[in-house]
Amino acid sequence: MSAPVLLLSRAEVTKNLDPRMLVGRLAEAFQLHSLNRTNSALPEHLFGNGAGSFCASNVGVMEGIPAYCIKVETRFPSRNPTTSGCIHLFDDRTGRLLAILESSFVSAIGSALTGALATDLLAPPKARTLAVIGNGSQGWLSLRFLMEMRSLEEVHLFDLNRKRSLRVAKRLEKYEGLVVKVCDSLNQAVSDADIVCSATWSRKPFLFSEMIKPGAHISTLGSDEPGKAELSEELLRGCSFFCDDRDLASQVGALQGIKGGRKMVVAELGEVLAGEHEGRAGDDEITVYAPVGLPAVDLVASWVAYRRAVKRKVGTPYHL
């Protein structure tokens, strides 16, 4: 009989994914992707029906990890949870299916950690005020991880559902000395922010050049599939634009549909991490980081969760 496949639920994945174990490996994954690319990051299948979207990722591979993965996931903003899917993890030497992991926390933690990593690299060194637009789970995780990387003095929260902002504000009470404002308008939240992090389902731009102060940094995590948009074309053309992958950004991400969009990319995150590009160049420069999501990020997180689950004897072995 063949070896069993390990099934890991969302709760089991969450318990076995320690963000502190991921940051270094994720930084390495971005550098390898930008400097030694072996496969495309573009999704194999991606489509929507108006209510939501379906994505089958390309293969996630990374030097140093003896496995590869494929993610199949749906995203329906009206559903709770909004994301549902699974990641298939394979042994790269034998092709054996090692594990099937529920994907939603892997996706969320990967996006939030890499967004925080990019923000720390690109935001002004003396940034003290952060605006978080979209206060669901993705916005909260992004805020939480950035708080561990940067010393912030003030956080502005805005969400069309005010109850979400109030819940995040409650969570932030444990941060002594931190000023937290639940804002009544988008403009109130962003007008004086040194850093803006947006994580929404918007299909129409809501951030415009005149709303952002000189020298600010924006991480837009919501422009991650066709049809979604958070930043106006004018703002995108006037900023220094960074991303995880040029093809992803120009074909399915924030630059989709913009003429000459690929040429607007200043650098990929991996190039900045590797020292191939300096990142922020001036005090008044507006920088933007707009990722779509690398398959290698899913692999890093899945591999860490799988190895830890095996060590702890967590999960359900199943013979297919």
Whether 280 is in a domain gets the answer yes
- For residue 108, the SS3 value is helix
- Mean pLDDT estimate for the chain: 94
Task: Kindly report, residue by residue over 88-119, the tens digit of the pLDDT.
Answer: 999 999 999 999 999 999 999 999 999 999 99
The distance from CA 170 to its chain's CA centroid, rounded to whole angstroms, is: 23
Average pLDDT for residues 235-251, to the nearest whole number?
Answer: 97
- Tokens read off for 110: 């990967």
Same domain, 130 and 233: yes
DSSP annotation of 78: T
DSSP annotation of 252: T
Whether 253 is in a domain gets the answer yes
Report the alpha-carbon distance of residue 146 to residue 41 in Å, rounded. Answer: 25
Look at the block and give the residue holding tokens 């399915």.
Answer: 252
| 8 A C-beta contact, residue 146 and residue 179 | no
- Tokens read off for 128: 């003290």
What pLDDT is recorded for position 1?
62
Task: Kindly report, residue by residue over 26-53, the tens digit of the pLDDT.
Answer: 999 999 999 987 777 776 666 667 677 7
Work out how many domains the chain is built from and give that number: 2
What pLDDT is recorded for position 24?
93
Report the alpha-carbon distance of residue 263 to residue 46 in Å, rounded. Answer: 24
Report the alpha-carbon distance of residue 55 to residue 244 in Å, rounded. Answer: 18
Whether 112 is in a domain gets the answer no
Same domain, 34 and 172: no
Whose CA is closest to 201, among 240, 176, 164? 164
Task: Kindly report, residue by residue over 161-207, the tens digit of the pLDDT.
Answer: 999 999 999 999 999 999 999 999 999 999 999 999 999 999 999 99
Same domain, 214 and 305: no
Domain containing residue 283 = 125-289
- For residue 219, the SS3 value is strand
Whose CA is closest to 68, among 87, 45, 91? 91
